[in-house]
Structure 1
């Protein structure tokens, strides 16, 4: 579990200079990393189980990778956890910045610490570059070191993408504004597990209201062009998998897809998870004609339709608990083959617990595998 090729659809490999974490929001409830760490507790990869552990020996690993790759940083932890020292985070960023052949994808739920750390890092770069302007000779002011410092300070590194996890509207309104205030070439959202509907524009408006004004031009424009959703460059969406997985309403996914299409933001649908859409009406025969086969064939047809049909209905009804919304899952009281003439009320969607593999990754008959483009990254770089 050090560095490896991975089955995570939106990255090529993982890099874990830190392992272990603690839970901060509902998206953490069924943490896959915690499950893996407990399974291998005491091993070389997880000597302290899921306690936060720094792995100094892994920090320089990217220098040894020959083939350029997208690298998910700390898939088994959170780089901005409070138990990770600033100096260690600085080492990780220095390595990422030095290995420009790779694209590093840093994802956090500790939005405030990431914002303050990256803001300070970029500010120090500008301060260092400015010192060359005061050099006594033109040769020193235009030296290779001066040019390097100015180039480094001009924009955040193009190969370091920074993202936040967003599981519902509450955390979208909290984490997205912090992300938008974080200097980055690419800012992205991981809406996985998606536990409720998310309005991206509302989260951006929340940022304006917290500042006491509407969105300013500095958040609307960067690099001479209008930024998508005022700073969001990529959105990943996925449902929860594993034991006790919570269901995702198909309309939540469609809403984010449509918002991204309208805002021209690359959209990546990672998975349905354990639960996926299912046909509510599965016909065994034409109701006007009736069944024409044998009783044995009828039983087989009913079994087949039941296997393909929905067993639960995900609704828009919700309840609040400790400031978080949870959405209801209702079990259908009839077999799908007996519901040929029955419809569902608005807001309800038929789903079934297929398992991650059978549920798949298709949304309305197609895959969504969009990534930010280099052009978008260059336009998005903002101090």
Structure 2
């Protein structure tokens, strides 16, 4: 089944696979689990069968069982879509999950190859399998076989597929360091990151060493410079031109939504935005999520003059400031837990209209739980909606 989607960077979702399991902290509050749980009990037997057995209730609530359902009847859906679309592939699973056979993945790529009018966005946390499969001649031959079965005499095709964007999810620096190099080693027309939910700071340019700047550049945003393949000029002389290696073509950032959402420090998003701008990489800010910036203090009057209105007006002004002002501070402080950095919030004890409040310490940010819709998509007053060319 394919559906129109509210995901800001896609027009449609295509889910020939249902089911998954958790592999890193970014999966902890996955929206797809609750979606699958609801549809597993849908009164329509075709829908409930597609989701059957994929979720379970345990001591942590609702979780994946690890069962993956392959839905052959959905494989050829894009062949019937005439209007070009941006299609998010497998929003309720991971195409490179260990339980998905190579042949099934090849069939998905064959359909994408036969529909160049669409742009497909494939996002994974299984970076190693993606790199291995898509670098394999045997897999490319398998894709070609499926193409011929679907449309005999369809002719040659280019690899990597020019209409397929490949991305990895990275929620913090640990997983950025692991997944991004694998993505850059994977054949792809467009490579992108989804830093959602962003659970910690990510430096895409290389770690800063005090007093030394960035001695170990990553070149993830700019491409590593080096020598290209040998060439021969018309006089028989062999030479090499300077070349730039693969780089990230697009970066998406977003905070977490849902009842148990973890807050994103605004500076984490700003850092990635600024690094993308410096390197000319399109940046897409998807959402703040449940938590978003709020004023640390909302003045209800001039402190030197004092309040000149009635008590009723003062109560109304204070109520307004409480509705708009910060309730928490994100300190950026963390602790090590199961090999991951875990960040926490400090609840503000004073009301946002208190005239006695002073400025926040450097590195902290005033935020509150607005809810996804009210928090919105503006980062420092601007919507960032850039896409790769």
The answer to whether the superposition gives a TM-score over 0.5 is: yes
User: How far 1:41 sits from its partner (Å)?
Assistant: 1.7
- 1:13–1:70 contact (8 Å) kept in structure 2: yes
User: How far 1:225 sits from its partner (Å)?
Assistant: 6.5
Q: Quick one: which of 372, 376, 380 aligns to 1:356?
A: 372
Q: Deviations over 1:152-207 (max 9, x none)?
A: 35x41110000000000000000000000000000000000000010112399697
- 2:263–2:290 contact (8 Å) kept in structure 1: yes
Q: Does 1:49 align with 2:54?
A: yes
Per the alignment, residue 177 of structure 1 pairs with 181
CA distance in 2, matches of 1:297, 1:250: 33
* Greater helix proportion: 1
Q: Secondary structure at the match of 1:202?
A: coil
TM-score under structure 2 normalisation?
0.83
Q: Does 1:217 align with 2:226?
A: yes
Between stretches 338-347 and 180-189, larger displacement belongs to 338-347
Higher relative contact order (CA 8 A, sep 6+): 1
Write out aligned runs for 1:255-266 (5 A).
255-266=271-282
Q: Deviations over 1:66-95 (max 9, x none)?
A: 110000000000000000000000000000
CA distance in 2, matches of 1:341, 1:354: 22
Q: Does 1:372 align with 2:376?
A: no
User: How far 1:243 sits from its partner (Å)?
Assistant: 1.1
Structure 2, unmatched stretches of 5+, are 56-66, 145-152, 208-213, 229-240
Write out aligned runs for 1:174-253 (5 A).
174-202=178-206, 215=224, 217=226, 226=244, 230-253=246-269
Q: Does 1:283 align with 2:283?
A: no
Per the alignment, residue 35 of structure 2 pairs with 36
TM-score under structure 1 normalisation?
0.84
Between stretches 35-44 and 70-79, larger displacement belongs to 35-44
Q: Secondary structure at the match of 2:13?
A: strand
Q: CA separation of 1:121/1:76 partners in 2, compared to 1, >3 Å: closer, same or farther?
A: farther
Per the alignment, residue 327 of structure 2 pairs with 311
Q: Deviations over 1:263-321 (max 9, x none)?
A: 10000000000000000010011111101111111111101000000000001211011
User: How far 1:323 sits from its partner (Å)?
Assistant: 0.9
CA distance in 2, matches of 1:262, 1:54: 42
CA distance in 1, matches of 2:294, 2:124: 33
- 1:275–1:353 contact (8 Å) kept in structure 2: yes
Per the alignment, residue 211 of structure 1 pairs with none
Between stretches 357-366 and 199-208, larger displacement belongs to 199-208
Q: Secondary structure at the match of 1:303?
A: helix
Per the alignment, residue 112 of structure 1 pairs with 128
Q: Deviations over 1:118-140 (max 9, x none)?
A: 11158856xx9xxxxxxxxxxxx
Per the alignment, residue 97 of structure 2 pairs with 81
Q: Does 1:90 align with 2:106?
A: yes
User: How far 1:328 sits from its partner (Å)?
Assistant: 1.8
- 1:233–1:266 contact (8 Å) kept in structure 2: yes
CA distance in 2, matches of 1:111, 1:206: 22
Structure 1, unmatched stretches of 5+, are 129-144, 209-213, 374-383
CA RMSD of aligned residues (A): 2.5
